[in-house]
Every structure is written in structure tokens, then in C-alpha cells.
Structure 1
Amino acid sequence: MSDTPDRTSRRRVVAWGLWDWGSASFNAVVTTFVFTVYLTSSGFGPEGVIESQLGWALAGAGLLVALLAPVTGQRSDTSGRRKLWLGVNTYIVVAITLAMFFVEPDPSFVWLGLLLVAGGNVFFEFAGVNYNAMLRQVSTPASIGGVSGFGWGMGYVGGIVLLLIVYFGFIQGFFGLPSENGLDVRLSMIVAALWFGIFALPVLFAVPEYRGAGTRRERIGFFASYARLGRDIARLWRDSRATVWFLLASAVFRDGLAGVFTFGGVLAASVFGFSAGEVILFAIAANVVAGISTIAVGALDDRLGAKPVIVTALAGLIVSGLLVFFLRDGGPAVFWTAGLALTLFVGPAQSASRTFLARIIPPGREGEVFGLYATTGRAVSFLAPTMFALFVGLTGDAAFGILGIVLVLLAGLLLLLPVRAPAAVPALR
């Protein structure tokens, strides 16, 4: 019996989307705007040293994800415990985020902070594999695009709300809490952990556990899973080559999408003269635009298919990026317009990428293939940072880093164009 429902349950979709809403606490507060900024501040050591250590810690985390994500996803498919492992990995992330409260601004706490950030990233990716694999459990073939877009949009909006609470309530001192000894940031970590822990609950109660699509396979040992994975990849190449090519193409363009947000703040400050406060305001505005566009475009995904949405979004990103570069002498107004246009296309590309893959995965292999999705993304995660650094290093002008990111997006688009979704996916044997 299939786990794909005959009709879309609004209650289950909302419950599923609330996990995305809650998970924004880790993406926005921990890894992007608050904790990693705090961890690389002068209280922990000399400038440049901590940033390098953070980079190596995240590289190690990425390697672990690349090695383990496909097998952990495969084993959740086999065991029929997809929701269980979503819960386990989610609340490990919650516990890790809570533990960040104990990281004081002193060099003796650097390695604790780095370990927590790296560990949180690993288990967050594991949770994401199971969460993405549940997409076909809460949607129908006719609604999968809208449901995926709703989830991504909820993530953006949840991040905005929590960032506003943390930034104005704790960082700016609206709540009157002391900032000595990093207490404002450390208390923010407690709020972020509770936020994720609370909003992750609905999906665990509302969505039934995955029971397989009548294709349950024999359970095997952990290391034997790698041999099975190798055979499955070979068979996936033979039976569903479009899936393999899409994993490659999406890995490249998703790294370009990550680069848009990763270096957006840097470019705003260094090229367009934004102050720290203006960067935060732009980040909030960017998340608003990305959230609205992602939810709105989800319906087009269902009508037109995921690939046209991705192609249009990538083309829009390339054009917007070139406008930011060539019109940069126009000052902040250019970045507020063309820069926000960039974010208009990021969310739809991310969401449609997930639905494209969900539509072509052979039944019963969602966890495994979304594990490969995580792995391929990690495997090329150096592309956008490398191209950005290369262009900046060769020219000595940060603005040229924009062209590096645009080239990554263009490469992803060119790899995607030949990919065709099969009319039917091969069943698991």
C-alpha cells in the first residue's frame, strides 16, 4: 500500500510546514546571523584565526554528511521509521542549540563552540533528509509543488519573525537584558532552541509514520548498507538516469543559491556601503521577498512542472546578478532593487528543486535519494566560495565576486537543461 495520500490534508501540510518554520532558528540564528558571528568575534581570539577554524569545522561536518546521509536515509526507508529519525535528529539539534548557552566569549570556549556548530550542522542535515523524504507523504502528485513551496516559504517567514525577536529583543536590548559575557547572544540560543523544539512537534503528531510502499527490503548492517548503496546507485543510473543527472545539476546550482545569501551581506557592506543595521534590514527584507515568492510560485510548479520554474528562476538570478554588477556605481538603490530581485528567485528555485526530485524518485527510496541530494550538495559546496574568492583575489575588487557566483548559477543551469523527468519512475526491486 502506498504512503502517498489520495488527497492533500491541510492539517498535515501545515504541520509539516511548521517544521520548516521552526528549523529557521538553526539556519538564521545559529549559522548565519547570530551565533557564528558571535563565535568569530574578538572575545574568542584574533581576527582571521577563528574564521579559519570555523571553516574547517564546517568542512569536517560537511564531509560527515556526505559520507553518512545516503546510508542513514536508506536505512530509514528500510526500517519504516522515517518520522522517528526526523524526531531524533531534530531534538539532537535542539539540545545542541541549548548547549550553545554555555559558550562564553573566551578563547577557552572556542572549541566547544566549534564542536557544537559542526555537530548541529550534521544532525540538521540528517533531519532534513527525512523531512524532505516526507514530502510525498503529505502531498499528491497534483499538489506537491504548492506543498513544497509552502514549506520553504514558512521557513523564510519563520526566520524573519525569530530574527526580529532576537535582534531587537536581545541584541538591541529591548528586553533590558545585560550583554556582558555574551549573555544576550547566549540567551538567544535558548530562544532559538525552544522555537525549533516547539514548532517541530506538530509534524510528529499529525503525519503518520512511513510504512513503505509495499517494497520493504531486508534490514542489513550499517557497513553492508554502503555495498547496497553502491548497487542502488548503479541501478539508479541504469533505470532512472534523469535522477542522477539532476542530482549533479542541482548540486551545482544549489551551491550558487547558497552563495547569494552567504555573500549578500558582505557585498552590501563592502561594495554598496551598507551599515551593519542596514545589512540586517536588507536581510529581513530579502527573507520577506523570498518567502512570499516561494509560496506564490508553488502553484505554478504544479501547473507547469518543476523544471520550467527552476530554469526561469536561475535565468532571473543570472540577469539580476549581472545587473547588480554592471550597475554597482548606482549605489545602495541598485542593491535594494536588483539585490532584492535576486532573492525573489532563490526560494522558488530551492522549492522546485525539491519537488522535481520528489517526482522522479523511485517509490520506497525517498530517504536514500534525498540523502544523496544532501551529499551531492555538500560535495560541491566549495564552488561558490571558491569562485567568489578567485574573482575577488584576481581583481582586488569585491564586486567581481558577483560574477563568480553568477558563473556557478550559469553552470548549474546548463547542466539542468538536458535533464528530462521520466513519465514514470522505476519501482524498487
Structure 2
Amino acid sequence: MSENPSPAPAAPTAASAAAPAVRKRTVLAWSLWDWGSASFNAVVTTFVFSVYITSAPFGPEERVSAELGVALLVAGVVVALFAPVIGRLTDQAGRRKTWLGINTAIVVVCTLLMVLVAPDEQFLIFGLVLLAIGNVAFEFASVSYNAMLGQIAHNGNVGKISGIGWGMGYLGGIVLLAILLVGFIFPEVGWFGVTAEGSWNVRIAMLVSAAWFAVFAIPVFLAVPEIDARAHPASGGRWFVSAYADVFRSIAGLWRDARQTLHFLVASAVFRDGLAGVFTFGGVIAARSFGFDSTTVIVFAIAANVVAGLATILVGFFEDRLGAKRVMIWSILLMVVCAMLVFALHDAGAWVFWAFGLLLCIFVGPVQSASRSFLARLIPAGREGEIFGLYATTGRAVSFLAPAGFTIAIAIGGATIFGIIGIGVVLLIGLLLLLPMRAGGSRPRREAAA
């Protein structure tokens, strides 16, 4: 028998306004997981290990890049297929924090083992497998982590708390990246005598990244209580199949009874892929269209993430008053304006990308944070893991949009700079899908502490 997936969105109630204050140390403990986990996003998947694993010692650039794409594609398919059911099962069994711990540990171990990936072609598959497994575990951990937002926030502060967490993620990754670049990667002889011989500068950076995540992940397990079990999965081997059947019934129920939630899952998937495209292809545009060398690209990336992190925290303090939908609409709109200015003025020189590229990055984090808090308001207590699992799945399902828009725009325009128009189009489509959404939402309720 299916459950009613979500009540109709409702305006904030007096009860939510009178909700007890959230302990600052609990919010800090929760947000420190974001601070630590950014080591995997920033160091492993974006700036260091993914670049290292596609370098010359591992084989021809075209082949290793293609194999990296295959590894990440397989990881994305696994996440899309399993995230909702994993989220639902953790909700049912009262094991949200348990599975956050298990998946966090898998990410840490995968990062730790990357120290063994020596610069030789025979280690390519090993490195790609570690990267793929780490990506899957990270996404599963993020489902449980995002679901915890309803445990520590209420309708009056969910935007602020979400913004603090997301902003801490940006800043934590950049602080760690700066430490690694200064201490190990840039110098000829780094800290503790580490050099680039045998790529030990990169490999030691993986050890530091693993330790960083492990240490900063600990507080959330001490400060945030586990949720209560609400139902028990079917016995024997049928529990997994039963969970899938429940997920499909939930989707049908969302269509029937709570289309606002389903509508938002689709709209957010589109504009979130546009946001991912900003960071995925921003460095390519900087290098190909504005002549940035690799060092300048990294410096710009650090500046962009610092700007995004600070803006996310700042806007989060006003989001609960302004409304998450309003923050998303204006942020996406201003991002598109900045993107078009980068395109229109690109002949004026590198200052255009520095000025309007950084201005664009101000709005990326607030959209991501507001998207999470907006969805949190729509989810009834006890269903957070499942719905955030669907959130991950829908994001993966349309992850081809930004790459396709980027590629098609370049094919039509004949130059890399046209790719920014393709990303802008994806953002606009997401914005148009978002506009009909009602701004209200049901109040996230903090779970009863065990």
C-alpha cells in the first residue's frame, strides 16, 4: 500500500516560527561534514587527481580521457539507479547516520588508496576504479547528509543553515586545495622533502585529503542524533525489490498528490546541470578564449570558489526572509546575464572573464543551497532520504544537458566562447521550469532524538 508522498505546500505556521532554537554547535558539526567532504570534490574529482590520472604517463590523452568519462558514466548510472532506494531504506530502518558513516568511510578509503596510483599506464584502471567507487559512495553519503537538514532545521532557519553548510563546503575545499598547492604540488621540493619524482607530490596530497575528510566528518556523528526506525524492510532477499516497488509507487503518488515536489525535482535537475556546467567548462573557456595558462586557471578557480562560498553563507542569512524560490530565480537570471556579458565582451581581454566570471560565481552557491532548502520544505518528516535520493537521480538523469549545450553551441558558432551560450540556455530552461512553482512548502520537522 503506497503512502501519501507529500502534503500540498502550505505557508509557514506559527508553530514553525515558535520552533526551538537550533544549537549552534549542532549546525557547526553538521556543516563541518560539508567542509571536509569538499576534499573529494575539489581535490580528487576536479583539480588534482582527475587531472593527474589523465596525464601523459597513463597513456594517450584521448584514450585516458575517454576511459575517465566511461568510469564516471558508470558511477553516474549506479547513483541514478540506486540513490532513491538507498535513501528509502535508510529512512525505514532508522539508519541514516549509520549509512552516512559507511559511505563516508568508503570515500576516505578510496582517497587513501589513491596514494598507490603510481604514474604508469598499468595503474590507470586501478585509479579509475577508485575514482568511480568514491563518486558513488560520495553521492550516497550526500543523500543521507542532505536528509539530515530536516533534523536540525525548521521553516524559519532552513535556508540559513543550508547556506552555511554549502558555503562551508566551498571554503573547506579551497582552504585544503591552497594548502596542497603551496605545500606539495607547486614547489620543486615541498613540505617534508616531497618532490614531483614518482608524482609523490600528488600522491601525498591524496593522503592529506583522506585525513582531512576523516577528521572533519567526525563531529556530525557525535552531534546529530540518529532517526527512529519507521518501518522494517521485508525479510529475506525481497527487501530490495520491495523497496524499488515502493519507490515507483512513491513517484506515482507524487504525480497524483504532490506534483509540486515532482515538478521541482525536474526543474532543479535541469538548472543544477547548468550550474555544474559552469565549473566543468569554465576552465576550458578561460584557457581557450581568454588565454589563461594552467596556473592562472587554478588561481581563478580558487577565487571563484571563495566568492561562491562567502556569497552562499551571506545569502543564506536572508533566504528565509526572501524565500528560496526568489533567491533561485534572481540568481539564475543574473548568472545568465553575466554569461552573456562574458560572451559579448570577450574581445576586450582577460579582465572580462575575471570581472563577469567572478560575478557569475557569486550566484552559483546560493542557487544550490536554496534548491536544497526549498526541497526540504516540501518533504514530510521521515521521507527525506528517499526524496533526496530522487533528487540525486533526477540530477544524474539529465547530466548530459550542459555538455550537449556546450558542444552544440560551439559547433554552431565555431569557437569555444560560444559554449557559454549553450550553458546559459540550459540555465534558462531550468528557470522557465521553476517559475510556475508555488513558493510555499511544508515545514521540515526535526526528528525525535533517539
Tell me the TM-score normalised to structure 1 length: 0.96
Q: Which amino acid aligns with 1:270?
A: R
1:195 aligns with 2:209: no
Of 268, 283, 297 in structure 1, the residue corresponding to residue 301 of structure 2 is 283
Change (3 A) 1:425 1:202: closer
Q: Distance in 1 between matches of 2:156 and 2:183?
A: 42
Could you list the runs of 5+ residues in structure 2 that have no partner in the other structure? 1-15, 446-450
Change (3 A) 1:180 1:426: closer
Q: Distance in 2 between matches of 1:288 and 1:422?
A: 31
Report the CA distance between 1:362 and its aligned residue.
2.1
Between 252-261 and 169-178, report the one with greater CA deviation.
169-178
Q: Distance in 1 between matches of 2:386 and 2:442?
A: 19
Q: Which amino acid aligns with 1:89?
A: N
Contact 1:66 1:375 in 2 (8 A): yes
Of 249, 271, 295 in structure 1, the residue corresponding to residue 267 of structure 2 is 249
Name the counterpart of 1:229. Answer: 247
Q: Distance in 1 between matches of 2:124 and 2:232?
A: 44
- Specify the SS of the correspondent of 2:363: helix
Could you list the runs of 5+ residues in structure 1 that have no partner in the other structure? none
- Specify the SS of the correspondent of 2:290: coil
Of 300, 304, 312 in structure 1, the residue corresponding to residue 330 of structure 2 is 312
Of 421, 424, 427 in structure 2, the residue corresponding to residue 406 of structure 1 is 424
Name the counterpart of 1:94. Answer: 108
Name the counterpart of 2:87. Answer: 73
Report the CA distance between 1:157 and its aligned residue.
0.7
Deviations 1:353-378 (A, max 9, x none): 00000000122110000000000000
Name the counterpart of 2:384. Answer: 366
Q: Distance in 2 between matches of 1:419 and 1:34?
A: 39
Of 151, 160, 183 in structure 1, the residue corresponding to residue 165 of structure 2 is 151
1:219 aligns with 2:237: no
1:339 aligns with 2:353: no
Report the CA distance between 1:179 and its aligned residue.
1.0
CA root-mean-square deviation: 1.6
- Specify the SS of the correspondent of 1:340: helix
Report the CA distance between 1:395 and its aligned residue.
2.8
Contact 2:287 2:297 in 1 (8 A): yes
Of 265, 273, 277 in structure 1, the residue corresponding to residue 283 of structure 2 is 265
Q: Distance in 2 between matches of 1:330 and 1:353?
A: 35
Report the CA distance between 1:202 and its aligned residue.
0.3
- Specify the SS of the correspondent of 1:419: coil
Of 133, 140, 145 in structure 2, the residue corresponding to residue 131 of structure 1 is 145
Contact 2:377 2:444 in 1 (8 A): no
Change (3 A) 1:426 1:338: closer
Q: Aligned residue pairs: how many? A: 422
| Superposition pairs of residues 365-404 of structure 1, within 5 angstroms | 365-404=383-422
Report the CA distance between 1:6 and its aligned residue.
2.9
Contact 2:343 2:421 in 1 (8 A): yes
Contact 2:328 2:367 in 1 (8 A): yes
Q: Distance in 2 between matches of 1:32 and 1:228?
A: 35
1:183 aligns with 2:200: yes
Report the CA distance between 1:239 and its aligned residue.
1.8
Deviations 1:372-397 (A, max 9, x none): 00000000011101111121123330
Tell me the TM-score normalised to structure 2 length: 0.92
1:303 aligns with 2:321: yes
- Specify the SS of the correspondent of 1:200: helix
Q: Which amino acid aligns with 2:143?
A: V
Q: Percent identity?
A: 59
Report the CA distance between 1:245 and its aligned residue.
0.3
Q: Distance in 2 between matches of 1:423 and 1:343?
A: 27
1:19 aligns with 2:33: yes
Report the CA distance between 1:320 and its aligned residue.
0.5
Contact 2:377 2:441 in 1 (8 A): no
Q: Distance in 1 between matches of 2:20 and 2:242?
A: 35
Report the CA distance between 1:316 and its aligned residue.
0.8
Report the CA distance between 1:30 and its aligned residue.
0.2
Report the CA distance between 1:352 and its aligned residue.
0.1
